[in-house]
């Protein structure tokens, strides 16, 4: 039996002095201890380990020597046994007490490596259970270490976070409540594990205003940065009904508290961290490190400015425009992601910053910053490519909010940029409608606006009142832009008289007719003729087939669509003709207005 073997080893070693111990003595005790655990004799092993006689008797102190040097080898079988027994089983409690004794008696350095090795070996469902089981003994060991404590704390936190990172983050209310893998509970346990080391840094900072021992502080910053990227970047952080204490909101609060306590919250929120960062010879590794840092800082800004974690720590001295400037880099990082949980954080952060501002208060100079051009372009991509309708709608609303905040020159510059870069007829049509609103405001007496009148407006109209490929432009694909352009031109012709001409449209009318109206008329005639011929051809083929259920293939914008019956194709073609008729009716009205106005001015 395992117990008999253990007793035999104890009796054998009683007659030996510490100097006479051989490697086989240590190995025999280790093997016997493992067998005791595996065979269910944890109580007997616990009795040997915690026997007070061993501490008092010089003849029996060898037990402590063996445990100190070899006890860490019992970690793996101990963990297996703890998971094997049920929560209420006495044997589980005995194993936990053995683990606690090992943390007190073993060589800290050896046990530290043994605990980390055990955490590293786990995967899947056992990761969180193992981490939570070993956090307390690991903390005990780290607090005992004298040399390389900062390095060891950093290694421990990095190992734990690396093991947790592959696990899926619970997102829905049900997933958070169930917490199947224990991630929610484990994350908060890790924060508690780090608190003694945070307190140590804080205490040292209080002792000296020039706190020079940055190593432990740097390791804690790294931990916070990793925590911001995972799990907080992808976690659902809105307050959920029915969950009294949201685990990820609690975790976020703790991370913010750590950063505040060690004096890094405000520097990280407003300036990229300038502390030590690893130097990578490999540029690919350097790029990964930079991206991870950007993700973490973006999440930090979201926590502060949207969820208001730690906002009470900030001095109320920053202007809304400065806060927007500081956050645009973070907003860009978030909007380039495709996951709903991350993308929504970017939209919320952008919206939150904009809502702090008054309309027309954002100076056009801000568009000299790269982010102020990139972010609206990212919004356009979301509006046109995101598969989630609510995200597309929200992006459109935020784009309008962004436009509204700029002064008139800023709006003018932004319109030019989006018209040149969006490459989407619907977006271009939307911008043209905004242009029309600004032109209308410029025409009222209370607005002294030079940017949407005269030569500035004419320069903008050159972008709007033209066809990209002349008469051969795909009118169907560009119908939103064309209709918006025609409506704008109709407004300008009605609003202005040729003699007054505040917008300058009459000065450039010849150019507009040459670059826009005439090619549009030719293109409409060509397109209508083509589609009418297609309709006629389809009808004839249907008659020949004597069935409307014949399956055909259709390409739209160069992309092959799912198989359609001839009847369905005819509906699509008829819809296209209706669009052409609509464009033609507005075009005819514009041409009529120009003719009437021109004659009226000639007769006056």
pLDDT of 588 above 90: yes
Report residue 72 as tokens: 């860490």
Q: Which pLDDT belongs to residue 489?
A: 95
Say what percent of the chain tops pLDDT 90. Answer: 57
Please state, in angstroms and rounded to a whole number, the distance separating the CA atoms of residues 41 and 167. Answer: 35
Question: Kind of pairing, strands 551-552 and 555-556?
Answer: unpaired
Nearest alpha-carbon partner for 217 in 251, 253, 257, 264 = 264
Nearest to 463 by CA among 421, 405, 522: 421
Helix-helix angle 126-144:108-121, to 10 degrees: 170
Contact in structure between 369 and 332 (CB atoms under 8 Å): no
The encoded tokens of residue 487 equal 């409506």
pLDDT at 280: 44
**Which whole number is the average pLDDT over 569-595?**
91
User: Looking at the predicted structure, is the pLDDT value of residue 275 above 50?
Assistant: no
Cα dihedral: 423, 512, 469, 376 (round 10): -10
- Band of residue 548 on the pLDDT scale cut at 50, 70, 90: very low
pLDDT beyond 80 at 446: no
Supply the DSSP string of 128-168, one letter for each residue. Answer: HHHHHHHHHHHHHHHHH--TTHHHHHHHHHHHHHHHHTTSP
Q: Is the pLDDT of residue 259 over 50?
A: yes
How far out from the chain centre does Cα 75 lie?
A: 38
Confidence of residue 48 (pLDDT cuts 50, 70, 90): confident
Q: Which residue, among 434, 377, 440, 442, has the nearest Cα to 405 in the 3D structure?
A: 434
Mean pLDDT lowest for which of 173-182, 307-316, 404-413?
Answer: 307-316
Q: Are 261 and 196 in contact (CB under 8 A)?
A: no
The SS3 of residue 556 is: strand
Mean pLDDT of the chain: 86
Over residues 158-175, the mean pLDDT reads 95
Pairing of strands 559-560, 555-556: antiparallel
Pair of tokens at residue 221: 């910053």
Q: Count Cα neighbours of 31 within 13 Å in the Cβ-side half-sphere.
A: 11
Task: Give the single-character DSSP code of 561.
Answer: P
Delimit the domains of the chain by residue range.
Answer: 407-543+564-603
Q: Report the pLDDT averaged over residues 282-310.
A: 83
Determine the Cα–Cα distance for residues 190 and 131; give it in Å rounded to an integer: 8
Neighbours of 46 (CB within 10 A): 19
Other beta carbons within 10 angstroms of residue 94's beta carbon come to 22
- Write a three-state SS string for 586-597: HHHHHHHHHHHH
Render pLDDT for 530-542 as a digit per residue (tens, 0 to 9): 888 888 887 777 7
Q: What is the pLDDT of residue 340?
A: 94
Interacting residues of 41 by C-beta distance below 8 A, sequence separation 6+: 1, 2, 3
CA separation for the pair 315, 455 (Å, rounded): 45
By the 8 A CB rule, do 353 and 324 touch? yes
Tell me what the mean pLDDT of segment 150-165 comes to: 96
Task: Give the per-residue pLDDT at 254.
Answer: 97
Extract the tokens encoding 425.
């007829």
Question: Which pLDDT score, from 0 to 100, does residue 536 have?
Answer: 83
Q: Is the pTM of this model over 0.85?
A: yes
The whole-number average pLDDT for the span 23-37 is 72
Cβ-in-10-Å burial (0-12, 13-18, 19+) of 375 comes to: buried
- Look at residues 48, 17, 55 and name the one whose alpha carbon lies nearest to residue 33: 48
Percent of the chain with pLDDT over 70: 84
Looking at per-residue pLDDT, the higher value among 151 and 63 belongs to: 151
Give 513's DSSP letter. I
Dist CA 290 CA 297 (whole Å): 11
pLDDT computed for residue 554 by the predictor: 56
The pLDDT, as a whole number, for residue 580 is: 93
Collapsing DSSP states into helix, strand and coil, what is residue 560? Answer: strand
Selection from 200-209, 235-244, 332-341, 493-502 with the highest mean pLDDT = 332-341
The residue with greater pLDDT, 31 or 488, is 488
How far CA 400 is from CA of 320, 326, 358, 396, 563, in Å, comes to: 18, 21, 14, 6, 38
* Least reliable range by pLDDT among 255-259, 447-451, 490-494, 522-526: 447-451
List, for residues 85-143, the tens digit of each pLDDT value: 887 788 888 889 989 988 988 889 989 999 999 999 998 889 999 999 999 999 999 99
Write down the pLDDT at residue 56: 47
Q: Predicted confidence band at 53 (pLDDT cuts at 50, 70, 90)?
A: very low
The two structure tokens encoding residue 344: 């929504």
Residue 453 predicted with pLDDT over 60: yes
Confidence class for position 298, pLDDT limits 50, 70, 90? very high
Distance CA 115, CA 100 (A): 12
Distance CA 366, CA 407 (A): 11
| Least-confidence region, from 67-81, 178-192, 484-498 | 67-81
Residue 401 is predicted with a pLDDT of 98
């Amino acid at each position: 039996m395992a117990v008999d073997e253990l007793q035999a080893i104890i009796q054998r070693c009683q007659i030996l002095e510490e100097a006479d111990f051989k490697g086989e003595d240590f190995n025999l005790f280790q093997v016997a201890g493992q067998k005791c655990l595996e065979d269910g004799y944890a109580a007997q092993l616990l009795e040997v380990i915690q026997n007070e006689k061993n501490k008092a008797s010089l003849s029996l102190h060898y037990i402590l020597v063996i445990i100190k040097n070899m006890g860490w080898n019992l970690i793996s079988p101990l963990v297996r046994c703890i998971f094997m027994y049920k929560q209420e089983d006495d044997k589980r409690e005995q194993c936990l007490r053995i683990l606690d004794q090992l943390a007190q008696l073993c060589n800290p350095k050896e046990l530290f490596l043994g605990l980390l090795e055990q955490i590293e070996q786990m995967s899947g469902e056992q990761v969180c259970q193992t981490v939570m089981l070993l956090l307390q003994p690991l903390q005990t060991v780290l607090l005992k270490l004298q040399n390389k404590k900062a390095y060891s704390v950093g290694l421990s936190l990095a190992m734990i976070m690396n093991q947790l990172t592959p696990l899926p983050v619970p997102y829905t209310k049900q997933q958070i409540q169930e917490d199947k893998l224990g991630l929610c509970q484990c994350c908060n346990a890790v924060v508690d594990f780090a608190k003694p080391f945070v307190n140590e840094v804080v205490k040292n900072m209080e002792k000296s205003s020039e706190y020079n021992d940055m190593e432990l502080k740097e390791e804690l910053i790294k931990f916070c940065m990793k925590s911001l990227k995972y799990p907080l970047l992808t976690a659902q952080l809105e307050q959920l009904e029915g969950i009294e204490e949201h685990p990820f909101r609690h975790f976020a609060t703790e991370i913010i508290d750590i950063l505040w306590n060690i004096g890094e919250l405000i520097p990280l929120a407003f300036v990229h961290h300038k502390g030590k960062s690893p130097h990578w010879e490999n540029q690919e590794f350097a790029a990964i490190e930079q991206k991870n840092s950007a993700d973490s800082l973006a999440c930090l800004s979201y926590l502060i400015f949207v969820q208001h974690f730690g906002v009470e720590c900030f001095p109320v001295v920053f202007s809304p425009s400065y806060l927007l400037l500081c956050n645009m880099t973070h907003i860009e990082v978030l909007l380039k992601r495709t996951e709903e949980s991350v993308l929504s954080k970017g939209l919320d952060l952008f919206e939150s910053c904009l809502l702090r501002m008054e309309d027309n208060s954002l100076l056009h100079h801000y568009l000299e910053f790269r982010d102020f051009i990139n972010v609206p372009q990212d919004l356009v991509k979301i509006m046109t490519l995101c598969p989630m309708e609510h995200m597309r709608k929200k992006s459109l609303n935020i784009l309008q909010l962004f436009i509204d905040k700029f002064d008139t020159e800023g709006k003018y510059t932004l319109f030019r940029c989006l018209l040149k870069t969006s490459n989407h007829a619907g977006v271009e049509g939307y911008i043209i409608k905004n242009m029309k609103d600004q032109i209308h405001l410029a025409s009222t007496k209370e607005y002294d606006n030079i940017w949407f009148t005269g030569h500035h407006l004419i320069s903008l109209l050159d972008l709007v009142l033209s066809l990209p490929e002349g008469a051969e432009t795909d009118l169907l694909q560009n119908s939103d832009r064309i209709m918006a352009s025609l409506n704008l031109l109709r407004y300008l012709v009605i609003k202005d008289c040729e003699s007054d001409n505040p917008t300058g449209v009459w000065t450039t009318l010849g150019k507009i007719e040459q670059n826009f109206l005439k090619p549009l008329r030719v293109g409409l005639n060509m397109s209508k003729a083509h589609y009418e011929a297609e309709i006629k051809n389809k009808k004839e083929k249907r008659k020949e087939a004597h069935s409307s259920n014949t399956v055909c293939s259709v390409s739209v914008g160069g992309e092959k669509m799912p198989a359609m019956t001839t009847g369905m194709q005819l509906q699509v073609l008829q819809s296209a003709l209706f669009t052409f008729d609509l464009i033609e009716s507005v075009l005819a009205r514009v041409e009529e207005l120009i003719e009437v106005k021109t004659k009226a001015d000639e007769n006056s």
